[in-house]
Amino acid sequence: MTLAGRGGHADPGDPQRRLLPAATVGLYEGAHYYRCGAFRPQFDCRMREIDREFCAVCAQQVRRVLLPFSPATVPFVQELRQNIAHQSAVAAGLVPRFAGQTGPGAWVWKPPPSGGRVVRYGSEVTVQLRTGPIP
């Protein structure tokens, strides 16, 4: 029997069939080693099979729980990202001086890095912490 004949699931013993697109969020029965009584947010998730990646909902929850323990947070960037002033500041080469401070004093001009690398707006960028005096 082919995968198409089984409704799209990979395991012939698995009673669930994928009827919706893979990224659809909902309540799918069967999680944490139980076939029923426990639910996962997406059809293919690490809660269903250990060799899968975390689904979008689980990954978001992991980030939310670990965020208070991360070494550097910039809480105001999310708010600023929603307005045009932030886009203008990024385009002008302004970057946050240090986490937590808001207002005009929180922005300092930093020339573009040598080598001509440009990061598109909306890209994810990792931050490396450095110790020492603030310039």
Break the chain into its structural domains and give their ranges: 4-68, 72-135
Q: Percent of the chain scored above 90 by pLDDT?
A: 0
50-97, pLDDT tens digit by residue?
A: 787 877 877 888 888 887 776 654 444 445 445 555 555 555 555 544
The tokens 């385009």 sit on which residue? 91
Q: Does this model's pTM top 0.85? A: no
4-29, pLDDT tens digit by residue?
A: 443 444 444 555 666 777 677 766 66
pLDDT band at 2 (very low <50, low <70, confident <90, very high): very low
Burial of 28 (0-12, 13-18, 19+ CB in 10 A): buried
**40 with 53: CB under 8 angstroms?**
no
Least confident span in 83-87, 105-109, 130-134:
105-109
Q: What angle do CA 98, 100, 103 make, to 5 degrees?
A: 85
Q: What is the structure's pLDDT at 76?
A: 47
The radius of gyration of the chain from alpha carbons, rounded to an integer in Å, stands at: 22
